[in-house]
Structure 1
Amino acid sequence: MRASLAAASALLLAGCSVSVPRPAATSAPPTSSTATPSASPAPAATGRAPRQTFDVDTRQLRLARGDRPLPVTIWAPDADAGRFPVILFSHGLTGTPRDYQPLLERWASAGFVVVAPTYPYTSRGTERLDALDVVNQPADATYVLTEVLKLDRRAGDALRGRLATDRLAAAGHSAGGITTIGLFSVARDERLDAGVVLAGSALGVGLGFTGPPAPLFFVHGQQDSVVSYASGRAAYDSVPWPKAFLTLPDGDHGQSLLREGNRAFDVVAGSTLDFWRWSLYGDADAKRRLPGDVGSTGLGRLDDKLG
């Protein structure tokens, strides 16, 4: 398995991250800016996702798992009340959380707390880039999630009483998609209720999905020259739980999927949001909207086995 992962490293290095304009780094204080699936589990949720659009607070958190530094960026709804589901997001190789800000801020503004670590050996700027280290990232992600959830009980913290600690999910792009699949397979975090895999595969983590059923939503471009469409489909086909696969016929590895200002981005943002609203809030209307989120644009095809 390690040999297979090494053979794919060159491709991953060529294009796992997304090149988007990056805003200046913020300081620590929050700032404000506007297989056959099994029976569908009942999402642990309220039944209705927020209808409003929240302003978004952004903050930095410095964590480390042993000798592995894990600085974390958090995007959270700016709200006086309410508990919000938590999504752990993993970046691609040579990427950083800020590269994905347009998408992650869209999620946060809809009522989700997005937690995004910068991994020590696969992020841009690291002194020791190592694509093979992706196999260690699921454990990093679990650690980060555990530490962030502690903020819900920390006196004086802005997130005290704001985290729905029973409604958790993971998402990631490319190498971060591998990390995400690992969290539902070889390094299963059974706290997770749902997941989104963007241009990901099971390389290095395998297809042994295990643990409690958790709906998964895959997005992949058929023109992806970095992580093949076929490898994404293979991972999807192995999922034994409720699942959906969004195919973007003209989509590449990331530019057309995740760059704000194009119609494909709007399809990805809209469909993933409705998936989160259903899987983490139990919003049945959001689930019913999913086919229209995709089909009405003519930009994608949805294989829907969510049940």
Structure 2
Amino acid sequence: MRRRTLLLGLAGAAGAGGLAACTADTGTGVGMAGATSASASAAPILASTTASSLAPQSVTAPYVPPAGSAPAQAYAVGRRVLDVSRDGRALPTTLWYPATSAATDAPAATGRFPLVLFSHGLTAQPGDYAAMLARWAQAGFVVAGPTYPNTSYGAADLDPLDIVNQPADASHVIDQLLTAGGPLSAVIDPDRLAAAGHSAGGITTAGLFSARRDERLKAGVVLAGTDFQGTPFTGPPAAMLFVHGRRDDTVTYRAGHAVFAAVPWSRAMLSITEGGHVTTGTDFEATAATSTEFLRWALYGDAGARSRLPGAAARGGVATLDDQLV
């Protein structure tokens, strides 16, 4: 049985603001090829999906990355798990990173690499997205996926309302990774940071650019997500990529597009024509290629990656790209 990946929004919950409520969804998430573990306790949560309350914005503060180039090589991908916690909240964090060999705890490759903090969906875990996250690491990014204590698969006290605490968790994980003497601190470039996430993790990611703004972040990737408490985007300009299926009945396309339209910075939206809440099959290749080129441009300043974005989005003929990365 495939895991039931639920995203329960917070509309109507005390203090929750504008988070949208959603129906449950069964299936594998972005990059979750081969996931076989099942949820024994998750049950469908039926609610209507609402569009974001955020007002549409013009692109008034473009993001300008520093000029540079992304690595031309494809790296071997190392993997390790770090023991991280914040105020008693356990946040074990899985890392995928450019390495000298494809092995657990392999030495990191020579160089300094951008960091992408990835947030999983409700009743998921970072390893479910390994295909996507390893793709980014292979392209020259350190990817960190914390397992959130109350929204992950197997959580003892599953609590969707705990999403509101996750942006602070994510920022704390970044703090720990940048601390001098950490296992990968020497190879992470602290000036090139991004956040990404799927579903509930997409809401968490939006929060890092709005209500819980982490001003160190230069770029964000929101996969099948929506807004965080109806709070406007704030802080210095960043580049934002949204990926959403037009047939998503968990977080509606309308709700995702409304958040895209509220970003005042450089932005793009990849719309999967027949896509639902999860990315599988040919949809995966378009999503992986587009997000990788976006990160190469936003964090490395690679002009070639910027020019390749339309071609990446067109792979398989399954999606369209609204490109406002001015």
TM-score over 0.5 for the alignment?
Answer: yes
- 1:116 is paired with a residue whose SS is strand
Match of 1:221 among 245, 255, 262: 245
Deviation at 1:9, TM superposition (A): 5.5
Letter in 1 for 2:58: T
Q: Which runs of 5+ in 1 are unaligned?
A: 25-34
CA distance in 1, matches of 2:115, 2:36: 23
CA distance in 2, matches of 1:10, 1:246: 21
CA distance in 1, matches of 2:293, 2:204: 22
- The question of 1:249 aligning with 2:273 is answered yes
Letter in 2 for 1:206: G
Q: Which runs of 5+ in 2 are unaligned?
A: 1-9, 38-56, 100-107
Letter in 2 for 1:185: S
Instruction: Please show how residues 15-164 of structure 1 align to structure 2 within 5 Å.
Output: 15=26, 18=29, 20-22=33-35, 35-44=57-66, 47-78=68-99, 79-150=108-179, 153-154=180-181, 158-164=183-189
Q: 1:27 matched to which residue of 2? A: none
CA distance in 2, matches of 1:217, 1:160: 26
Write the deviation string for residues 27-75 of structure 1: whole angstroms up to 9, x where unpaired: xxxxxxxx2113433224x610001110011000111111211110010
Indicate the larger mover: 99-108 or 79-88: 79-88
- 1:208 is paired with a residue whose SS is coil
Return closer, same or farther for 1:196/1:10 CA change in 2, 3 Å cut-off: closer
**TM-score after normalising by structure 1:** 0.87
Match of 2:302 among 278, 283, 287: 283
Q: 1:212 matched to which residue of 2? A: 236
Deviation at 1:187, TM superposition (A): 0.2
Deviation at 1:126, TM superposition (A): 0.6
CA distance in 2, matches of 1:306, 1:250: 24
- 1:292 is paired with a residue whose SS is helix
Return closer, same or farther for 1:159/1:68 CA change in 2, 3 Å cut-off: same
Instruction: Please show how residues 256-275 of structure 1 align to structure 2 within 5 Å.
Output: 257=279, 259=280, 262-275=281-294
Return closer, same or farther for 1:207/1:230 CA change in 2, 3 Å cut-off: farther
Contact 2:177 2:184 in 1 (8 A): no
Deviation at 1:297, TM superposition (A): 3.0
CA distance in 2, matches of 1:42, 1:184: 17
Q: Tell me the percent identity.
A: 48
Contact 2:81 2:94 in 1 (8 A): yes
CA distance in 2, matches of 1:217, 1:57: 26
**TM-score after normalising by structure 2:** 0.83
- 1:3 is paired with a residue whose SS is coil
RMSD: 2.1
Letter in 2 for 1:272: S
Write the deviation string for residues 192-211 of structure 1: whole angstroms up to 9, x where unpaired: 00000000001x43241000
Return closer, same or farther for 1:23/1:149 CA change in 2, 3 Å cut-off: farther
CA distance in 1, matches of 2:22, 2:254: 18
- 2:250 is paired with a residue whose SS is coil
Contact 1:16 1:94 in 2 (8 A): no
Contact 1:200 1:227 in 2 (8 A): yes
Indicate the larger mover: 98-107 or 286-295: 286-295
Deviation at 1:238, TM superposition (A): 0.5
Deviation at 1:2, TM superposition (A): 5.2
Contact 1:16 1:174 in 2 (8 A): no
Deviation at 1:160, TM superposition (A): 4.2
CA distance in 1, matches of 2:257, 2:158: 28
- 1:170 is paired with a residue whose SS is strand
4+ runs deviating over 6 angstroms: none
Q: 1:300 matched to which residue of 2? A: 319
Contact 2:270 2:319 in 1 (8 A): yes
